[in-house]
Amino acid sequence: MGRRARRHERPTAPASDYTDPHGNVLSLRGSLTPGARREYAETLSGIGGRPSSTREDASQRALELLFERLAVHWVIAGAPIERQRDLLARLRIASPAERTWVRQALREHCSEHFPDVSAP
């Protein structure tokens, strides 16, 4: 039996869908590795950041990092976005209302699935 045939598949947690008032759907991953949790906590606290960065900068970077690790796909106006690079780019150009909704979805998701992670 070859090495690939013996490889064990890791169980995956199901994704959760969050729908905004306009019917757009954001799907967030149900698992977050310990390394990603540690990286997020360090980013949120400003560890390893530039000396000139502010608390707001750290919070923004932490939001993007958490979104990047958890977002599976985002359907906006019927158009699905699935590639990580495209998801992050779409978050960066989101309107203030969309960013607020994404932040709320991340907070709800983390409180339900990752109580040790405090979303920004």
Q: Report yes or no: 26 and 103 within 8 Å, Cβ to Cβ.
A: no
What is the tens place of the pLDDT at every residue in 58-94? 888 999 999 999 999 999 999 999 999 999 999 999 9
Q: Report yes or no: 64 and 88 within 8 Å, Cβ to Cβ.
A: yes
Identify the residue whose tokens are 């310990």.
Answer: 34
Closest CA to 65 of 45, 39, 83: 39
Closest CA to 49 of 61, 63, 37, 34: 61
Q: Report yes or no: 67 and 84 within 8 Å, Cβ to Cβ.
A: no
Q: Is the dihedral of CA 44, 49, 50, 51 positive or negative?
A: positive
User: With bands split at pLDDT 50, 70 and 90, how would you rate the model's confidence at 55?
Assistant: confident
What is the tens place of the pLDDT at every residue in 93-116? 999 999 999 999 999 999 999 998
Where exactly are the structural domains of the chain?
A: 33-113
Distance between CA atoms of 86 and 71, rounded to whole angstroms?
Answer: 11
Model confidence at 30: pLDDT above 60: yes
